[in-house]
Structure 1
Amino acid sequence: MSGITYVQGDASAPQGKGVKIIAHVCNDLGGWGKGFVLALSRRWPDPEAAFRRWHRERARNDFGLGAAQFVQVGPYLWVANLVGQRGTRTGRSTGVPVRYEAIDASLGLLAGKAEELGASVHMPRIGCGLAGGKWSRVEPLITERLVARGIPVTVYDFEP
């Protein structure tokens, strides 16, 4: 048992009470426009605007693989932009865009923010869509970084 709750639904509409953080994986190119981010942008403009600004001003901030940005979108709701993907394309020399070590580092930052806010964490199967990752590699990172610290995690499998 991983300690992660799995549900059918939309991670951009998290279930439950209390403070919630919606986590997702972004790329290190500043691109935003495919995958789960579209569901976020349909609900709130701020996570995309903050991500694009964070990337644009990267010479003066911590933007990069393994970084995390937290954007408040409601009184008890936050979005975590986790940079865990190198580029956006799968290539012969570079493989898939997912970077497990970057996801691991950003999950550590997410854990700190969740503890600070007393929040639960909600996400799709991060790093496993367009980033090309394997859930069998991501799930243990979530278990180690979040669940082991007592942070409730819900993973949503979307069925349109």
Structure 2
Amino acid sequence: MGEINYVRGDATVPSVKGVKVIAHVCNDIGGWGKGFVLAVSRRWPEPEKEYRAWHRARAANDFGLGAVQLVRVERYVWVANMIGQRGTRTGSKGVPVRYEAIDTALGLLADRAAELTASVHMPRIGCGLAGGKWSRVEPLVTERLVRRGIAVTVYDHED
């Protein structure tokens, strides 16, 4: 069994061959505009456009905690919009991250990555604005992706 590969760099420019899925966590209220999504939007308009359309039509689709939307942005690159946080602000119910939703989304992502024979690339999902702890997320990534034989690279952005 492999392990997570940690590198310094930008998760939106994975430098490996083959099909790649760039995974990140989105909120469940249709907000897009802070954090890693800005880097995604600087490279490709489609993930934001598709996420907003998915949210607008949520009465008729699977939009909600734990759901995943894969958006093709290049011939060999997809972006996985994973709904893993409730709202955007820390409040009486704590931080926005929802570990159970990230776990569910990673399971769905694993199925799609396996179908595409893709590697998965991500920042430390759920740990920025969502307020999560990597010590809680890392075991989910290992369990859902790495144990299925999917190559995972986690990027720590260079400031």
Normalising by structure 2, we get a TM-score of 0.98
2:141 maps to 1:110 = no
Q: Which amino acid is 1:150 matched to?
A: G
Question: 8 Å contact 1:5–1:154 — kept in the other structure?
Answer: yes
Q: 1:62-96, CA deviations, whole angstroms, 9 ceiling, x for partnerless residues?
A: 000000000000000000000000000001x1100
Partner of residue 60, structure 2: 60
Partner of residue 20, structure 1: 20
4+ residue segments displaced more than 3 Å: none
2:39 maps to 1:39 = yes
Identity over aligned pairs, percent: 76
Secondary structure of 2:109's aligned partner? helix
Partner of residue 148, structure 2: 149
| Equivalent-residue separation in structure 2 for 1:15 and 1:65 (angstroms) | 30
Shift of 1:12: 0.8
Shift of 1:7: 0.1
| Equivalent-residue separation in structure 1 for 2:11 and 2:134 (angstroms) | 16
Secondary structure of 1:108's aligned partner? helix
Q: Which amino acid is 2:150 matched to?
A: I
| Equivalent-residue separation in structure 2 for 1:83 and 1:2 (angstroms) | 26
Shift of 1:2: 7.3
| Equivalent-residue separation in structure 2 for 1:67 and 1:103 (angstroms) | 9
| Equivalent-residue separation in structure 1 for 2:93 and 2:68 (angstroms) | 23
Partner of residue 83, structure 1: 83
Question: For structure 1, which runs of at least 5 residues remain unmatched after alignment?
Answer: none
Secondary structure of 1:15's aligned partner? coil
Partner of residue 70, structure 1: 70
